Amino acid sequence: MTILLTGATGTVGRAVLRQLLDAGAPVRALTRDPARAATLLPDGVDVVGGDLGDPDSLPAALDGVERVFLLSAGPQMAEHDANLAQAAAKAGVRRLVALSSLAAEEDPDGALGRWHADGERAVREAGPAWTIVRPGGFMSNALDWAPAVRAGVVRAPFRDLRAAIVDPRDIAAVVVAAMSGGHDGAVLPLSGPAAISPAEQVAVLADVLDRPVRFEELGVPEARAAMARRLPQEVVDAVLSARAAAGPFRARVLPTVLEVTGREPRSFRQWVEDHVDTFR
């Protein structure tokens, strides 16, 4: 039962990979740069080359694969998801589990929501059994603040915008459960156990670290300029627009992690305690 993963070196993909390996599943990782990925991934992973933008590169990677975890991002999501999903169908793959976003529901007219909704549609229409996993914000996004936390001042937009952010390990646990079946044809929206604002996240970091860390609100234009230094402008605009449109929707606490995995999702404090060395 070989499982093909995309995004295996990313935050969620790495967590899915680890949990599958711990369960003894044979795992294959699809990557555009196999040599680099092989240095980042654990032993026992079959690393193969392929590009979601190049359909001709995918059939060999899918040989002998029964299940696929599909993770893509950005404006090309629909094209990339369709390429892999259709190649998977031709290869006889039985099940697709795709990572999407709550943006597909909360902001369907925004760019981020459209990208994810179009990607979901490509997966649903491909043919194999499918499950869509829709998390909101990731707790791990706080890792971007690590240098600022060490300096004692975090500057970020949307100071009081609360969201029920989720630990990537909990997202991965839902993905792995969906891989095993029982959730075919389901859209699984995920959240963490409580809504928390950026300012409140910084307060938790300060408390766990036992030293002062101050939050200063960053205006949206300043945030846009800072993000554009490391991300394409189209992505920056889509992300900031989705955050501004989120409102109370993203603050909803959803029961999905408990229902699917049988245990409560981790709190932000638990996530910080598990990653505290990164902030010291």
Q: Is the pLDDT of residue 243 over 80?
A: no
Residue 36 located in a structural domain: yes
The predicted structure's pLDDT at residue 249:
78
The predicted structure's pLDDT at residue 228:
81
Residue 147 located in a structural domain: no
Mean pLDDT of the chain: 92
Q: Is the pLDDT of residue 226 over 90?
A: no
Q: Is the pLDDT of residue 110 over 90?
A: no
CB-based contact 220:241 (threshold 8 Å): no
User: Exposure of 50 by Cβ count < 10 A (0-12 exposed, 13-18 middle, 19+ buried)?
Assistant: buried
The predicted structure's pLDDT at residue 252:
92
Nearest to 143 by CA among 280, 265, 7, 278: 278
Rounded average pLDDT over 257-264: 97
Please tell me the pTM assigned to this model.
0.94
Polymer length of the chain: 280
Query: Which residues are CB-contacts of 97 (< 8 A; sequence separation ≥ 6)?
Result: 67, 68, 69, 70, 130, 131, 133, 175, 178, 179
Q: Tens of pLDDT along 11-46?
A: 999 999 999 999 999 999 999 998 898 888 988 899
CB-based contact 36:14 (threshold 8 Å): no
What CATH number is attached to the domain comprising 46? 3.40.50.720
Q: Tens of pLDDT along 164-218?
A: 999 999 999 999 999 998 999 999 999 999 999 999 999 999 999 999 999 999 8
Residue 234 located in a structural domain: no
Indicate the number of domains in the chain: 1
CB-based contact 25:49 (threshold 8 Å): no
Range of the domain at 50: 2-138+167-191+253-265
The predicted structure's pLDDT at residue 239:
81
Which comes out higher in pLDDT, residue 222 or 140? 140
Q: Is the pLDDT of residue 116 over 80?
A: yes
Residue 111 located in a structural domain: yes
